[in-house]
Amino acid sequence: MKIDAVDFFYLTMPCVTDDVDGSQDALLVRVTAGGQIGWGECEAAPLPSIAAFVCPMSHGACRPVSASVLGQNLDTPEDIRRISAQVAYDSMDLLQAPHTYSGIEMALWDALGRAHDEPVWSLLGYDQSKAKVPYASLLFGDTPQETLERAKKAHSKGYSAFKFGWGPIGRGTVGNDADQFLAAREGIGADALLMVDAGQIFGDDVEAASARLPALELANTLWFEEPFQAGALEAYASLSERGSSVQTAGGEAAHNAHMAEHLMKYGKVGFIQIDCGRVGGIGPAKSIAGSAQSQGVTYVNHTFTSHLALSASLQPYAGLSDHTICEFPASPSKLAVALTTNHLQRDADGMVKAPEAAGLGVEVELARLAPYLVQTEIVVDGKVLYQTPELQ
C-alpha cells in the first residue's frame, strides 16, 4: 500500500501550566495508506513539529519530513526502516525532524499491523507480549507533606511501584530533598518500588547530585533519573562510579539510537528510558532494547501522555522477560484520557502489557477530541502549508 496522507491534530488542555506535565498538550498523527489508517503521537512541541513536516525545502539535506514519507510504499517492516533512513538523511539539518517523524513512525507500524492483522510486537519479532509492572509516575509536591499525601493517594490505587520527579528537588538544600524522598517512601510503604527523577536539575554538577545519594539510599530508591543534562555523559559516568546501590537512569531526551547507546556505553546508566515519541519511533527503540539486553542495562519506556503513546512504548520490549518495569501515566490530563477510546488496563495482579489486538491495539475517535483541537494555520508566500484538518 502507498502512504496517501499524513494528518496532524494539535490538541491542548484549555489551560497549560508550567508544571512539567507533558500530557497538557498532544500532537496526534494519522497516517492513511491504501485505505488503512494508523495512529501515532509525537512527544514534542506541536507547532514546530507540524512546521517540520510542511516547511519548504532549504536544500538537499534540509528537506521537510513530508518529502521522505508521502507516496512511499508501506508493505513490510523493511519499508518503515527504509523511510526512517531517508528521513534521517534528507532531513539531517532539520533538527526538529526526529520529533515530527516519531509520531509518524508509530502510525506506520499501527497501519502495517492492522493491514496484517497482527500486533506490532509480533511484527517486531516477539512471540508474546509479556506482563510488566506499571509504575505510577508522579510529580513531587511543593512540600514533603504534599508529597506524602500524593504518595498515599497513589498507593491507594493499587500500584506497587512509584516514581516521583521534578518539583523542588535540587532547588533547595540536601536536607530538603532528603525530606521529600523519605516522605515519598513513607507514603508508598516499605515494600513498593520507589524511583526518583531529578529533571536534569544538577546540569553537570556531580558533587551536587552525589550529595543526594545517601538519602536516596536511605529511602531504598531503585534509580536516580536524569540528574544531569542529557548530553553530560561524563557526569553520568562519574555518578555511576560512586558505587551507590542507587543506579542512574536516563535517555528520554534521546532523539536517535546513537544517543541512547552512548548513555549506556559512556554514561554507564543502569536503566535506559526511551520515549518512542522522540527517539524516531518504535524501530530505533527496539534496537536500543536489544542493545540494553546484551549489555545488562534495563530498558524502560518513557511515557507521560496517552495510552496510544503507552502502547507504542511497550512494543519495543514487549517480549523481553528481564525488562519488566513500565512507566504508566498515573494522573494524565483529561485530554490524554480522551485521546483513545480504549485504555490499557492493569490485570488482577496489577500488571500491564502491550495489547494483543492488531497494530497498536488502541482506538481513536476524532469527534471526542473536538474540545481540545487547536485551530492552526501556517501560510508561506500566500500558500497555506498547514491548516487544522476536519475531525473526521
Q: Candidates 12-20, 115-123, 175-183, 310-318: pick the segment binding its own copies (CB under 8 A).
A: 12-20
Question: Hey, which residues between 106 and 125 contact its own copies (CB under 8 A)?
Answer: none
237 touches its own copies by CB under 8 A = no
Note whether 366 binds its own copies by CB under 8 A.
Answer: no
Q: Point out which span in 37-45, 69-77, 142-150, 338-346 binds its own copies (CB under 8 A).
A: 37-45
Identify whether the C-beta of residue 43 lies closer than 8 Å to the C-beta of residue 99: yes
- Give yes or no for residue 60 binding its own copies (CB under 8 A): yes
- Of 111-119, 171-179, 280-288, 371-379, the window that binds its own copies (rule: CB under 8 A) is 371-379
Stretch near its own copies under the rule CB under 8 A, chosen from 104-112, 120-128, 155-163, 368-376? 368-376
Q: Which lies closer to its own copies via its Cβ, residue 122 or residue 238? A: 238
Q: Which of residues 203-222 bind its own copies (CB under 8 A)?
A: 203
Q: Is 50 in the site for its own copies (CB under 8 A)?
A: yes
Q: Is 20 in the site for its own copies (CB under 8 A)?
A: yes
Q: What angle do CA 337, 330, 164 make, to 5 degrees?
A: 145
185 binds its own copies (CB under 8 A): no
Nearer to its own copies, 351 or 385 (CB): 385
> Residue 381 corresponds to which cell in the numbers above?
508566500
DSSP 26: E
d(C-alpha 134, C-alpha 157), whole Å: 12
Residues with Cβ within 8 Å of 258's Cβ and at least 6 positions away in sequence, in order, are none
In 145-263 the beta strands, taken as DSSP E runs, fall at 161-165, 193-197, 221-225, 247-250
Contact 171, 133 (CB under 8 A): no
Give whichever of 57 and 193 is closer to its own copies, judged by the CB atom: 57
First to last CA, the chain: 22
Instruction: Indicate the residue among 218 and 380 with the shorter CB distance to its own copies.
Output: 380
Contacts of 225 (CB under 8 A, 6+ apart): 163, 165, 195, 196, 197, 198, 248, 249, 250, 271, 273
Q: Is 251 in the site for its own copies (CB under 8 A)?
A: no
391 contributes a contact to its own copies by CB under 8 A = no
47 binds its own copies (CB under 8 A): yes
In degrees and rounded to multiples of 5, residue 194 shows phi and psi of -125, 130
Residues in a beta bridge with 10 = 27
Within 8 A by CB and 6+ apart from 357, the residues are: 119
**Beta carbon nearer to its own copies, 46 or 283:** 46
For its own copies, which is the closer residue by CB, 174 or 230?
Answer: 230
CA distance 212 to 198: 10
User: Quick one: cell of 84?
Assistant: 526512517
In angstroms, give the least distance from the CB of 337 to its own copies.
17
| DSSP reduced 3-state for 373 | strand
C-alpha cell at 239: 555518578
- Could you give the CA distance from residue 359 to residue 39 in angstroms, rounded to a whole number? 9
Q: By CB under 8 A, name the one of 3, 28, 44, 192 that touches its own copies.
A: 44
Count the site residues for its own copies by CB under 8 A.
Answer: 67
* β-sheet bridge partners, residue 2: 73
Task: Point out which residues bind its own copies (CB under 8 A).
Answer: 12, 16-22, 24-25, 43-48, 50-52, 54-64, 85, 88-89, 92-96, 98-99, 166, 199-200, 203, 229-233, 253, 255-256, 258-259, 262, 266, 278, 374-382, 385
